[in-house]
């Protein structure tokens, strides 16, 4: 009962003026970053990270949750109206939404996307509230060798999720772990890779890595592109959207069916729990499943409301699922939750099995923010801002990217009040840019960096309690379970690749 009382307190915390302002402000920022092609909600949260030094942790988490939820559904706005997905997770929505826009039903398509996001996001948030404490209970059963195998499982699944570039995923993940070894050793007071400098003695902070990998590298990518505005103004003027057209007819909602909405939410949530899988994968798998089981598969690729509902419901539900491993095991499953973990670490908090027991009062408002964002802010924002939003995201590139550069660089100065952090951010930015240009997944770099220290610590602890004998990983039941699970995932994701319809196939 205490758990549910604390959750209710989380909702009342949202009513505090400052927290409420960050909830709404975060949602609007997330909507903007999600809708502008090239920007993502992850970048918005990365830019928020330095500000969390001065923010209350609850307020920062609420802002992160609303940005995350907003970024997932706002990509559908430009995906539908001008066929450019604002976020990667809206790729499937563009396939179905744009044909509808061309038939003059774009507003209705956006309405369906918002409704599915609302249902998916809300169900995901409820599932998070119910399942997170159960996952934390289960996490208590895992001992040191099992913790090592669990983190190894997470890292391996993150690598093999990069289906077409597994070796490159392994390279960047290992590089991330290598960067994390700089500084004092996790077990002994021995400095490592400091090259005689005292500045590296404390290790490399997560902030310059996040700012560099996600903000600076994006600036460098955008610097190679031409154009005055983020979105073509001519395309924006092509269609006018009326507010009343956003409400989807009940007959179409019935045709999609309650079962489809729930199924998409459950698929999205389950994919969110998996390490390495993000909104794009959630939307794609749910969309593919909807197409496979649809009564009208022939409508897919030509403007199917069911396809939009499946994709959007899943990617919003994924947001909540991604928090389960982060809060219960301290293992972020995707870059966004890795940055949220950074917010907690900056404030001296370390998620784990007992985190919800001891710190629920800090995260309960975040749970509430996920639910309120989905139930209230998704439909409200579309209804109020929808007709103008495409114009809002058509912003001057010079103003937008100059502003991002200032926030990113000055933000990285905040941690230690030294330009060393800024230099590190630039260094990681250039590194991430070169990696991106050669199609190396940089999300793996961050996840390797975040999970690396725990992987090493549990590996060495497990070996030291067993006199250096690595058989402990096979004789410990929990460790063996995760090693076998790794084998199962490897078999199904690499050896026997899932045969799902391709985006190109659907589009054609």
Partner 1 sequence: MAVWRPAARSAASAVQLRGGAIPYSERGGTLKLPYSFSGKWIVPVLLLAVTTIYLVNALQMMPPIKRGDITASFFPVVLAVIMYLSIGVVLWQGRSEAGKGAAPETPPAAGAEASVPALNRFGALWVTLVTGLYIGVFSVIGYSLSTFLYVLLLTFLFGNPRPGKGGRAWIVKIAAALVITLLGYALFELIFQVRLPTLWT
The contact set with partner 1 (CB under 8 A) reads 51, 53-55, 167-168, 170-171, 174-175, 177-178, 181, 185, 187-188, 190, 192-193, 195, 216, 219-226, 228, 396-403, 405-407, 409-411, 413-414, 417, 419, 422-423, 426, 429-430, 433-435, 437-440, 456, 459-460, 463-464, 467-468
For the chain, helix, strand, coil in percent to 5 are 75, 0, 25
Tokens 């230099």 locate to 423
Min CB(225)–partner 1 separation in Å? 7
Min CB(44)–partner 1 separation in Å? 14
81's tokens? 């109206």
Judged by beta carbon, residue 247 or residue 463, the one nearer partner 1 is 463
Min CB(37)–partner 1 separation in Å? 15
What CA–CA distance (Å, rounded) separates 329 from 273? 11
Judged by beta carbon, residue 293 or residue 418, the one nearer partner 1 is 418
What CA–CA distance (Å, rounded) separates 363 from 218? 30
Judged by beta carbon, residue 58 or residue 304, the one nearer partner 1 is 58
Judged by beta carbon, residue 65 or residue 216, the one nearer partner 1 is 216
3-state secondary structure of 280: helix
Min CB(332)–partner 1 separation in Å? 20
Judged by beta carbon, residue 143 or residue 397, the one nearer partner 1 is 397
3-state secondary structure of 100: helix
362's tokens? 């800090």
Judged by beta carbon, residue 272 or residue 441, the one nearer partner 1 is 441
Sorted by sequence, the CB contacts under 8 Å of residue 445 that are 6+ apart come out as 172, 173, 175, 176, 179, 209, 213, 432, 435
Min CB(387)–partner 1 separation in Å? 27
Min CB(152)–partner 1 separation in Å? 12
Judged by beta carbon, residue 83 or residue 222, the one nearer partner 1 is 222
CB distance 116 to 309 below 8 Å: yes
How many other CB atoms are found less than 10 A from the CB of residue 412? Answer: 31
Residues in the chain: 508
Min CB(59)–partner 1 separation in Å? 12
CB distance 335 to 42 below 8 Å: yes
């Amino acid at each position: 009962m205490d758990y549910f009382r604390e959750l209710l307190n989380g909702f009342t915390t949202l009513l505090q003026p400052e927290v409420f302002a960050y909830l709404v402000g975060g949602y609007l920022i997330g909507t903007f970053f999600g809708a502008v092609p090239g920007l993502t909600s992850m970048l918005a949260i990365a830019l928020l990270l330095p500000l969390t030094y001065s923010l209350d942790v609850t307020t920062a988490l609420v802002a992160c949750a609303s940005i995350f939820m907003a970024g997932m559904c706002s990509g559908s706005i430009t995906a539908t109206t001008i066929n450019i997905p604002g976020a990667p997770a809206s790729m499937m929505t563009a396939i179905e939404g744009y044909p509808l826009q061309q038939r003059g039903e774009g507003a209705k398509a956006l309405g369906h996307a918002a409704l599915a996001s609302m249902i998916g996001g809300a169900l995901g948030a409820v599932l998070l509230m119910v399942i997170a404490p159960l996952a934390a209970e289960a996490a208590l059963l895992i001992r040191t060798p099992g913790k090592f195998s669990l983190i190894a499982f997470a890292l391996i699944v993150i690598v093999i999720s990069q289906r077409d570039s597994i070796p490159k995923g392994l390279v960047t993940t290992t590089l991330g772990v290598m960067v994390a070894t700089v500084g004092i050793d996790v077990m002994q007071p021995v400095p490592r890779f400091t090259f005689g400098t005292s500045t590296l003695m404390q290790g490399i902070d997560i902030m310059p890595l996040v700012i560099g990998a996600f903000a600076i590298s994006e600036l460098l990518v955008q610097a190679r592109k031409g154009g005055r505005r983020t979105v073509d103004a001519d395309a924006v003027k092509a269609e006018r959207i009326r507010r009343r057209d956003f409400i989807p007819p009940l007959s179409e909602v019935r045709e999609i069916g309650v079962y489809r909405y729930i199924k998409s939410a459950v698929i999205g949530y389950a994919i969110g729990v998996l390490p390495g899988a993000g909104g794009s994968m959630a939307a794609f798998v749910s969309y593919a499943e909807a197409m496979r089981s649809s009564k009208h598969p022939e409508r897919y690729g030509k403007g199917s409301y069911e396809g939009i509902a499946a994709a959007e419901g899943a990617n919003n539900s994924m947001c909540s699922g991604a928090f389960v491993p982060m809060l219960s095991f301290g293992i972020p499953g995707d870059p966004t939750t890795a940055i949220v973990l950074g917010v907690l670490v900056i404030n001296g908090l370390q998620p784990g099995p007992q985190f919800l027991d001891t710190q629920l009062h800090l995260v309960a408002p975040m749970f509430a923010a996920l639910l309120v964002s989905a139930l209230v802010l998704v439909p409200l924002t579309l209804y109020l801002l929808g007709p103008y939003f495409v114009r809002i995201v058509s912003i001057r590139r010079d103003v937008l990217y100059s502003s991002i550069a200032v926030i990113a660089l000055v933000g990285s100065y905040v941690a230690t009040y030294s330009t060393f952090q800024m230099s590190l951010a630039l260094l990681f930015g250039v590194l991430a840019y070169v990696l991106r240009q050669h199609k190396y997944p940089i999300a793996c770099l961050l996840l390797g960096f975040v999970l690396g220290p725990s992987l090493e610590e549990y590996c060495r602890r497990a070996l030291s309690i067993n006199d250096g004998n690595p058989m402990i990983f096979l004789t410990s039941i929990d460790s063996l379970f995760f090693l076998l699970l790794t084998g199962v995932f490897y078999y199904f994701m690499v050896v026997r690749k899932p045969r799902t319809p391709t985006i190109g196939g659907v589009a054609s």
